[in-house]
């Protein structure tokens, strides 16, 4: 197949990446033990159960990857958990099937003012976590108008509802994204929340919608006093990650190789460098920032360590003792790439005591285990 290229023919050397490695910002498979020493005795602040007990919480996009993990955590904290779902957003809503009977679901298109207002008016939530969005970047290249409508118009409707029916609202968190930073100059890495040092240069319609999402949250706090919480999540990964995302693409292929159903691994750009955080650490950050009431302040949620997609594959192969050729599929490359994203988490660490406590190996192990336990999701092509 002419669109498949051996990975060794695509790997690029980058002097700045070599510099970042020397400074400790790059994870290398051959030095994984040095990286893991950071996690041996690391602890993080945890949410205060008394603060969250009996709070009415609404999660938009509860059936999604992060939403389902957030729902679990909030239930453990004693919250009354509600969530919005779309009829066809996730088939059968398998991510939250195990939570049936413990959460209350409200069918809604977040762009429908009438429906969203009705939900807010009925619930009068104490906290809102706004996670509902079209979040797969390639979709925003294929269907830009729909992604803009959903992500921007939907956020406006949510904040209008919060303004009108937020008399008992203590926080409304918006899940923004590292994709807002976009085309970061290598000399600007690691990325901080300071727009003077790291201005937004989004490279996708999705990234543009997340810039708008953040500005909406800021505006409604500044103009109307809506208690907006802004988090800029870098890549968060783990079990239940959508099959089209790069880590799940790799995890599924590892499982298929272990089951002798394939003999190679096919990926997109192997040179992309991303800062991967375990989803459970990410949602812990969301909860802590809300609890600390850090309104209208953006917070990077990241580990401060980056890894190339190629090295992520190498780690996954090593962990499961897999020997397989790796190819790059030219059809999986984006029209405009974001080559390098590594965040600095000093601000959230200082203000909340949050730390990432799960390593990249935990992400790989748990991601592979999930697909081993869900064989119905194997053998599906994802682009």
**201-204: which pairs have CB atoms within 8 A and are 24 or more residues apart?**
203/179, 203/334, 203/336, 203/337, 203/338, 204/137, 204/140, 204/141, 204/179, 204/334, 204/336, 204/338
pLDDT tens sequence across 108-156: 999 999 999 999 999 999 999 999 998 888 888 899 999 999 999 999 9
**Bridge-based pairing state of the strands 4-6 and 325-329:** antiparallel
Arithmetic mean of pLDDT, 47-62: 97
CA dist 280 and 239 (Å) reads 10
Same CATH topology for 4-42+241-275+305-341+358-377 and 49-236+278-301? no
Residue 256 predicted with pLDDT over 60: yes
Q: What is the DSSP string of 189-207?
A: PSB-S-TTTS--B--SHHH
Homologous superfamily assigned to 4-42+241-275+305-341+358-377: UDP-galactose 4-epimerase, domain 1 (3.90.25.10)
* Residues of the chain above pLDDT 90, percent: 85
Q: What is the DSSP string of 239-258?
A: TT--TTSHHHHHHHHHHHHH
The pTM of the full predicted model, rounded to 2 decimals, is 0.94
* Residues of the chain above pLDDT 70, percent: 96
Residue 383 predicted with pLDDT over 60: no
Please give the pLDDT value at position 89: 47
pLDDT tens sequence across 162-185: 999 999 999 999 999 999 999 999
CA dist 341 and 181 (Å) reads 8
Using CA atoms, how far residue 189 sits from 181, 182, 309, in Å, is: 11, 12, 18
CATH architecture of 49-236+278-301: 3-Layer(aba) Sandwich (3.40)
User: Hey, where are the domains in the chain?
Assistant: 4-42+241-275+305-341+358-377, 49-236+278-301
pLDDT tens sequence across 280-310: 999 999 999 999 999 999 999 999 999 999 9
The helix (run of H) or strand (run of E) holding residue 222 is helix 205-224
pLDDT tens sequence across 16-34: 889 999 999 999 999 999 9
């Amino acid at each position: 197949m002419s669109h498949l290229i051996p990975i060794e023919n695509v790997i690029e050397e980058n002097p700045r990446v070599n510099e970042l490695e020397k400074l400790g910002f790059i994870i290398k498979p051959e030095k994984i033990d040095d990286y893991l020493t950071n996690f041996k005795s690391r602890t993080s602040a945890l949410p205060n159960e008394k603060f969250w007990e009996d709070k009415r919480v609404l999660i938009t996009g509860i059936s999604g990857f992060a939403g389902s993990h957030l729902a679990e955590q909030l239930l453990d904290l004693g919250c009354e958990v509600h969530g919005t779902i779309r009829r066809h957003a996730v088939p059968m809503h398998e991510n939250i099937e195990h939570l049936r009977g413990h959460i209350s679901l409200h069918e809604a298109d977040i762009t429908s003012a009438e429906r969203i207002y009705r939900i807010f008016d009925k619930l009068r939530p104490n906290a809102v976590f706004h996670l509902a969005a079209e979040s797969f970047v390639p979709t925003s290249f294929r269907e830009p108008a729909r992604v803009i409508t959903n992500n921007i118009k939907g956020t406006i409707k949510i904040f209008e509802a919060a303004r009108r029916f937020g008399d008992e609202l203590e926080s409304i968190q918006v899940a923004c994204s590292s994709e807002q930073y976009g085309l970061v100059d290598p000399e600007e890495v690691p990325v901080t929340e300071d727009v003077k040092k790291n201005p937004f240069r989004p490279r996708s319609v999705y990234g543009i919608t997340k810039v708008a999402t953040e500005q909406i949250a800021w505006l409604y706090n500044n103009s109307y006093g809506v208690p907006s919480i802004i988090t800029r999540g870098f890549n968060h990964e783990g079990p239940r990650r959508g099959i089209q995302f790069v880590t799940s693409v790799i995890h599924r292929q590892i499982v298929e190789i272990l089951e002798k159903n394939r003999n190679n691994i096919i990926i997109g750009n192997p040179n992309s460098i991303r800062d991967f955080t375990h989803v459970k650490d990410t949602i812990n950050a969301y909860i802590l920032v809300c609890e600390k009431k850090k309104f209208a302040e953006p917070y990077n949620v990241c580990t401060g360590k980056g890894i190339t997609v190629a090295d992520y594959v190498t780690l996954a192969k090593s962990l499961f003792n897999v020997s397989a050729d790796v190819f790059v599929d030219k059809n999986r490359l984006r029209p405009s790439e974001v080559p390098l994203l590594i965040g600095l988490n000093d601000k959230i660490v200082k203000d909340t005591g949050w730390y990432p406590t799960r390593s990249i190996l935990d992400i790989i192990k748990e991601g592979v285990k999930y697909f081993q336990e869900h064989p119905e999701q194997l053998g599906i092509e994802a682009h």
